[in-house]
Structure 1
């Protein structure tokens, strides 16, 4: 029997943990993140919606000293320490041939045929939906008691060569360090506008 959660709002504490009090960290406490925690993040984030359940994200979880060194070489100077000190940094890649998995991921219809021969459409879909999955990763990690530090300052070609060399159909979207954030590494929160600034109800 499936439990229904329609109409049940999360507690104020839960919303604080995931959004209102959560921050993007630039430094990390010396506290490890286990493989079991990474599996738990995946088991939550994979449930988030994507178009036709395409699930285009391909994630490499960088933990070892050797892998960290490769990633540090590919990120901007301002991000090197963020990667060095993080227990884990997730590389969120996107498979532009995601449609090859649709026969089992979306078996209700021949969704694969929607994308055959349409590389431009696949790239747009992969980028949009892997970005969603990256956001789900952040939400899942925070919900499970971890902190995040998403980054876009890196050489995508170098990251691809270092971590997806055997997967030429995978491109790199963004990276996100995960761990227990050091409160000393953050500054005052940047402004967040009221509804009327960037929203319209029509």
Structure 2
């Protein structure tokens, strides 16, 4: 067999997993989310940048602050999800590089002195980490509902007023509720995407 990962784990992470649109009211614990992060932090990023930041909305007050900036169709599921995470990237991620990339600490200034460079690299590598985060949520037996239907400028002003973080996506997290999943949409076959030279 080409894959060494157990078929049940493959199903949990990929084949049977879907974007959830409804959730039960079963809480998502801090222990669960910390376990998710402690797993996904090992996913690769360039120079081990690790620019992803998580803002976890547990209180009704914090949730209402976000709802004002969500697209109308995303409001009900975001209001009722047990946990909502704002995934953002830190524009000052380079400050941690001497710790995260200790064999080449000069990278901090040699490569990332310009904020435009950090913004491009931070967005790209945090997006990689966001993919790991969604898989980590699934690995915890939970469902994820990632969304980009919101006003990013509004979310940034509301939650990251100092301008040092920028939102990537919003992810609702919990146990799937009734009619949580749409029918599986088609996927492209290998022959459609792979070019062998």
Query: TM-score, normalized by length of structure 1?
Result: 0.92
2:115 maps to what in 1?
A: 119
C-alpha displacement at 1:72, in angstroms? 0.9
> 2: distance between equivalents of 1:119 and 1:129?
15
Structure-2 change in CA distance of 1:198 and 1:31 (3 Å): same
Structure 1, unmatched stretches of 5+, are: 1-6
Kindly indicate whether residue 142 of structure 2 is the aligned counterpart of residue 146 of structure 1: yes
> 1: distance between equivalents of 2:112 and 2:11?
43
C-alpha displacement at 1:116, in angstroms? 4.0
Q: Could you tell me whether the CA contact under 8 Å between 1:95 and 1:169 is conserved in 2?
A: yes
Q: Could you tell me whether the CA contact under 8 Å between 1:99 and 1:115 is conserved in 2?
A: no
Residues 63-121 of structure 1, C-alpha deviations (whole Å, 9 max, x = no match): 11111111111110010012111111111111122111111111111110233432222
- Of 162, 173, 198 in structure 1, the residue corresponding to residue 168 of structure 2 is 173
Q: How much is the aligned-residue C-alpha RMSD, in angstroms? A: 1.5
> 2: distance between equivalents of 1:162 and 1:67?
10
> 2: distance between equivalents of 1:116 and 1:140?
29
Kindly indicate whether residue 79 of structure 2 is the aligned counterpart of residue 79 of structure 1: no
Kindly indicate whether residue 4 of structure 2 is the aligned counterpart of residue 9 of structure 1: yes
Structure 2, unmatched stretches of 5+, are: none
C-alpha displacement at 1:161, in angstroms? 1.9
- Of 163, 179, 187 in structure 1, the residue corresponding to residue 159 of structure 2 is 163
2:101 maps to what in 1?
A: 106
1:4 maps to what in 2?
A: none
The number of residue pairs the alignment matches comes to 195
C-alpha displacement at 1:183, in angstroms? 4.4
> 2: distance between equivalents of 1:77 and 1:169?
27
How do residues 174-193 of structure 1 correspond to structure 2 at under 5 angstroms?
Answer: 174-193=169-188
Structure 1 stretches (4+) deviating beyond 3 angstroms?
none
Kindly indicate whether residue 65 of structure 2 is the aligned counterpart of residue 91 of structure 1: no
C-alpha displacement at 1:8, in angstroms? 7.6
1:65 maps to what in 2?
A: 60
Query: TM-score, normalized by length of structure 2?
Result: 0.94
